[in-house]
Amino acid sequence: MIRRITGKIGHFLGHPGTIVVAAFLVRYGIFCYFSATGPYPIRGVIPTMGYETGQIARSLVQGRGYGSPLKVDTGPTAWMPPGYPFLLAGVFKLFGIFTVESYTVIKAFDCAFSALTVWVIWAIARRAFGTACGVTAGWMWTLLPSAIFYPVVWVWDTSLSALVLPLIVLASMHVQESKRVSAWAGCGALWGLGAMVNASIVSTLPFLLGWDAQVLRRKSAQWLKLTLVALLLFAVVIAPWFIRNYLVFHKLILFRSNFGLELWLGNNRFNPGVWSWWLHPNDDDGERRLYASMGEMAYMAMKQREAISWIREHPAMWREQIFRRFVDNWTGFDEPPNLTKARFYIAVGMLLEILFPMLGLLGGVLSYRRGNPYAFPLTATIFFFPVVYYLTHTSLRYRHPIDPVLCVLAGYTAVSAWGWIAALVSRKPASADQQQSGEWITAGK
C-alpha cells in the first residue's frame, strides 16, 4: 500500500503538467506578494514599464505607428522586432496604457511563458536523455532563481524568448526524422516567429537547420528540398518586417536597427568593463536629444562608427573586454564577487548562478563523451547564441533564452551524478544503456 501511494505521488510530481502549474504558481505568487508588500511600490515601476518596448507599445495604441522607443516622440523605429511590443500593445489597448492593471496582466503572460517552458524542457530532456532527466530539469527550472526573477521583474521579451528558443530546439529534434513537407514548413515558420520575438535567436539557425539537413541527408534524397522549404517559410514570416523597414527607412535593415548603439555602449572610452549603461539614451538626456535630432538611422550609424574607431585604436583593451564579457555571460560577474560581504541569501543566489551554467556545460561534455545523438544541437545552441553579446555587451538577461537548454544539460549532469552515487552505494555499476538514457536511477523500480 505504501509503495502504491508513493508511486502515485511520484507519478504526480513527475508529470509535466504538475511541474508547469507549480512553476506558474511560484512565479505569479511571488509577483503578487512583492506587488503587495514591496520591496518597491508597484506604481513606482509603471512609468518605465518595458522601457523601449513599452514606449513602442504606447505609440501603437495612440495611433502613432510603430515608433518612438524612447521617452519622446521620434517617429518610426526598427529598434527591435515587433513580436513582444505588439503583445504589450494589445494589453495596453484592453487594460490601459501604463496602468497597474496592464502591468499585472503582462506579468501574468510572462509568468505563463516561463511556466510553459517547463514542458519544453521536459520534452527535450526526455527525448535526449530519458524521463528522469526530464523531471529533474523541469523542477530545476521551476525553482531556478533567474527563471523566477525575469518573469516577475522584467517587462521585456526575455521570458517569451526563453520559451521560443527551446521550442525551436525541440522542433529541430523532431523534424530531422520527418520527410513531411508540412513538418519542415512549420519548423521554418517557427524560426521566423522566433526572429520576430528576439533577433538573436537567428544566430543558431545555421547550426540547427544544418544539423537537421545533415541527418536527413543520410536517410532521404529529399533533404535539400525540405531544407529549402524551411528556409522559404522562414523568409515568408520575416518578409513583412523587412519590407516595412525598407519602405520606411529606404534601406535594408537586418531584423533591428540598434546594433550600432549596442556596440558603442560596450566599446567606448567610458566603458569600465562590460558596458556603460548610463550612456544609454533611456538614461542619458544628452544622448536622447542627440537621437531625436539626428534620427534613428543616422544616430545608429554614428555610434557604430565611433565604436569601430575605438576598437581599432584599442585592440588590446577590446580583447580584454571580450574576455570579461565572456566571463560575465557565464557567471554573472565580470570580476570575482565578494561573497563574504553579501547577505546570506544573496550569496547563495550568486553561488547558484555560477554553479548552474557550470553544471550545464558539464552536461554538454558528458553528452558528447557518451555519443548522444542530440549533443550537437544542444551544445551548439548554448555556445553560438551568446557570441554577438561578447562583441557588444552582456547580461544574464541576454543569456536567459538559452538557460532552458542549460537546464536540460544541468539536469543530465544531476541525474548522472545521482546514478554514480547510487552505483557506489549499491556497488552495482549501471549498464551502458542506462548511463546513456539517464534512467538508471529508476532501474529496478
Residue type at 440 in one-letter notation: W
Residue 271: pLDDT band (50, 70, 90) is confident
C-alpha cell, 51: 522601457
C-alpha cell, 185: 514548413
pLDDT at 433 > cutoff 60:
no
Grouping H, G, I as helix, E, B as strand and the rest as coil, residue 179 is coil
Q: What's the average model confidence in pLDDT over 249-260?
A: 94
Provide, rounded to the nearest whole percent, the portion of the chain with pLDDT above 70: 88
| SS3 letters across 5-22 | HHHHHHHHHHCHHHHHHH
Q: What's the average model confidence in pLDDT over 65-80?
A: 95
CA dihedral angle for residue 326, residue 330, residue 335, residue 341, rounded to 10 degrees:
170
Minimum mean pLDDT range among 5-14, 193-202, 415-424: 5-14
d(CA 63, CA 231): 34
Spell out the residues 6+ positions from residue 210 whose beta carbon is closer than 8 angstroms to its own.
none
d(CA 358, CA 228): 37
Cis ω for the linkage preceding 39 (within 30 of 0): yes
CA dihedral angle for residue 229, residue 230, residue 232, residue 234, rounded to 10 degrees:
160
* Sequence-ordered alpha helix ranges (H) in 96-157: 100-129, 131-143, 145-153
Q: What is the pLDDT of residue 439?
A: 47
Place of cell 566571463: 327
d(CA 143, CA 153): 16
Spell out the residues 6+ positions from residue 215 whose beta carbon is closer than 8 angstroms to its own.
176, 177
pLDDT in tens, 289-320: 999 999 999 999 999 999 999 999 999 999 99
Minimum mean pLDDT range among 302-311, 331-340, 351-360, 414-423: 331-340
Q: What's the average model confidence in pLDDT over 380-395?
A: 95
Q: What is the pLDDT of residue 342?
A: 61
Instruction: Go through the chain and tell me how many residues it has.
Output: 445
| 291 contacts 360 by C-beta, under 8 angstroms | no
Place of cell 499585472: 104
pLDDT at 360 > cutoff 90:
yes
**Cβ neighbour number for residue 94 with a 10 Å cutoff:** 11
Place of cell 526575455: 158
Cα 253 to Cα 31, 66, 188, 194, 282: the distances in Å are: 37, 15, 21, 17, 22
| 267 contacts 222 by C-beta, under 8 angstroms | no
Q: What's the average model confidence in pLDDT over 339-368?
A: 80
C-alpha cell, 16: 509535466
Q: What is the pLDDT of residue 138?
A: 97
d(CA 212, CA 192): 17
Residue type at 185 in one-letter notation: A
d(CA 366, CA 379): 11
Identify the CA nearest to 408 among candidates 386, 445, 381, 440. Answer: 381
Residue spans of the domains in the chain: they are 2-442
Spell out the residues 6+ positions from residue 379 whose beta carbon is closer than 8 angstroms to its own.
364, 367, 368, 409
- pTM for this model (two decimals): 0.91
pLDDT at 25 > cutoff 70:
yes
Residue type at 118 in one-letter notation: V
pLDDT in tens, 124-180: 999 999 999 999 999 999 999 999 999 999 999 999 999 999 999 999 999 988 889
Q: What is the pLDDT of residue 119?
A: 97
d(CA 357, CA 278): 28
C-alpha cell, 45: 515601476
**Cβ neighbour number for residue 442 with a 10 Å cutoff:** 17
DSSP string, 350-409: HHHHHHHHHHHHHHHHHHHHTT-TTHHHHHHHHHHTTHHHHHS---HHHHGGGHHHHHHH
Identify the CA nearest to 80 among candidates 107, 110, 50. Answer: 50
Dihedral sign for Cα 97, 102, 106, 107, please.
positive
Provide, rounded to the nearest whole percent, the portion of the chain with pLDDT above 90: 76
DSSP 69: -
Q: What mean pLDDT, rounded, does the chain reach? A: 89
C-alpha cell, 180: 513531411
Q: What is the pLDDT of residue 333?
A: 77
d(CA 44, CA 56): 20
Tell which wins on pLDDT, 177 or 245.
245
Q: What is the pLDDT of residue 71?
A: 86
Residue 434: pLDDT band (50, 70, 90) is low
Residue type at 264 in one-letter notation: W
d(CA 149, CA 154): 8
d(CA 143, CA 120): 16
Q: What is the pLDDT of residue 443?
A: 40
